[in-house]
Amino acid sequence: MELKILSKENKEIGKKKLPSQFSEPSRFDIIKRAVEAIFGNKRQRYGANPRAGKRHSTYLSKKRRRFRGVYGHSRTRTPKKVMSRSGSQFNWTGAFAPNARGGHRAFPPKAEKIWVCKINKKEKRKAIRSALASALNKDLVIKRGHKVPNEYPFLIAKDFELINKTKDFKSALLSLGFKAELERASKKKIRAGKGKHRARPYQKAKGPLVIVSGKCKLLNTAKNIAGIDVVDIKNVNVELLAPGCVPGRLTLLTEEAVNKIEKEALFV
């Protein structure tokens, strides 16, 4: 597969043959496994206190003549805690059981649960190759909801990595035909449900992913543009290439990044 290389002014300055990593078939099942593994490894353990709801001194007897028993008192067999006593008569209230006020939860989340997901190295690399190939598949990119120019897919020139101003990078994207995509990524909507009260009230769209060859000025330049992620080629993972396990994110690779993939045989 051969792609055009475009400059900041949307002029063709050459062509580049892609290495074999981009010829991987799209395997949605492997991509999903790799993304779920990243989600599982990022997840924090949580759980209830093992003694929560069980701190009451309760008593339950189902025997007929047992002292402090509930037999013959027309009471449920819920564990009770004694509040007061007059001779052999007791004033008690339900406790400990899940159906009682202040009782423990039935099958609460346990902090010892292991959320870590393991995945083979070869399988992870195959998932990255598959996601890279899917990102350059125009049909999959459009199906994912991105607004792409007619020339897509293409590579961008290596001088993009030297852009040190946000307005210059934004104007370069506009000249490449990403006006509709930037407008789509800039919109945000209020989340439905309880997430509004949990420090995540807004849902935002994912915009273009820009992959560079290494540490450069562009990594900080695009931070203030909504929806855009800029990442070093060595830090690329499946979650960035296929957010939400859906492959086909609009991806722009610099010419130097592709050269690095070929030279260092990355993800093989």
- The pLDDT tens digits for 112-133 are 999 999 999 999 999 999 999 9
Beta-carbon contacts of 17 under 8 Å, excluding residues fewer than 6 positions away, are 1, 2
Mean pLDDT, the chain, rounded, equals 92
Phi-psi region of 86 (alpha: psi -120 to 50; beta: other; left: phi over 0): beta
CATH architecture of 2-33+120-264: 3-Layer(aba) Sandwich (3.40)
Whether 150 contacts 1, CB under 8 Å? no
pLDDT class of 204 with cuts at 50, 70, 90: very high
Amino acid of residue 137? N
Q: pTM for this one?
A: 0.83
**pLDDT tens digit sequence for 146-156:** 999 999 999 99
Q: What is the CA radius of gyration of the chain?
A: 29
pLDDT digits (tens, 9 = 90+) for 35-52: 999 999 999 999 999 999
Scanning the structure block, which residue is given the tokens 């900041």? Answer: 8
CB burial of 67-97 (b: ≥16 within 10 Å; e: otherwise) equals eebbeeeeeeebbbeeeeeeeeebebebbbb
Extents of the domains making up the chain: 2-33+120-264, 44-114
Judged against a pLDDT cut of 90, whether residue 254 lies above it is answered with yes
Strands annotated E in 196-260: 202-204, 209-212, 229-232, 251-253
In the predicted structure, residue 62 carries a pLDDT above the cut 80: no
Residues 241 and 237: their CA atoms lie apart, in Å, by 7
pLDDT of residue 165: 94
pLDDT surpassing 90 at residue 208: yes
Question: What is the amino acid identity at position 80?
Answer: K
